[in-house]
């Protein structure tokens, strides 16, 4: 289970925008979609989490280190705000657990033998395809 990291509301900037796509008469009048902006470097997150977030290769993180999330799933502004905040919390929670250090391992003796046997068998098949001399 992922740990929950509390993000202070004053560090998150919400902007109400108009949603894209079809929506009938309402779509051109009401700004129900939400743009969430979260500056990673200026946040109060622990240093290791900030570093992992900045290293993350995610299209929602700009080159300046700002997370930009657009939520337009619901017709309600408050539901879209909650959805954008949930996505941000999931993103932060994903890097909150440090990755396990990889320990290099050697292939087993049986797997090496199997690989070499398969290689020899394949070489014999290819040798058999060669030109035949009388």
Calculate the alpha carbon distances from 34 to 1, 13, 37, 69, 100 in Å. 28, 10, 10, 8, 35
Question: In residues, how long is the chain?
Answer: 134
Which of the 8 DSSP states describes residue 9? Answer: G
User: What integer pLDDT is reported at residue 57 of this predicted model?
Assistant: 87
Helix (H) or strand (E) holding 83: helix 77-96
Q: What pLDDT score was predicted for residue 75? A: 84
**What pLDDT does residue 3 have?**
66
Query: Strand runs (DSSP E) across 66-133, as ranges?
Result: 66-71
Question: What are the Cα distances from residue 2, in Å, to 12, 21, 56, 91, 113?
Answer: 21, 34, 17, 11, 41
Q: What is the pLDDT of residue 96?
A: 86
Q: Tell me the domains of the chain and their CATH numbers.
A: 9-96 (3.30.160.20)
For the chain, which residues score pLDDT lower than 70? 1-3, 23-28
Rounded Cα–Cα distance for residues 83 and 89 (Å): 10
């Amino acid at each position: 289970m992922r740990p929950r990291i509390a993000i202070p509301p004053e560090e998150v900037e919400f902007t109400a925008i108009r949603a894209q796509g079809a929506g009938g008469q309402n779509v051109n009048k009401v700004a129900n979609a939400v743009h969430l902006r979260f500056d990673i470097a200026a946040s109060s997150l622990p240093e290791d989490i900030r570093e992992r977030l900045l290293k993350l290769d995610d299209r929602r993180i700009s080159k300046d280190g700002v997370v930009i999330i657009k939520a337009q799933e619901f017709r309600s502004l408050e539901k879209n705000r909650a959805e954008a905040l949930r996505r941000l919390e999931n993103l932060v929670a994903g890097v909150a657990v440090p990755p396990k250090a990889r320990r290099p391992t050697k292939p087993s003796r049986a797997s090496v033998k199997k690989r070499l046997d398969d290689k020899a068998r394949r070489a014999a098949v290819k040798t058999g395809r060669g030109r035949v001399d009388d």
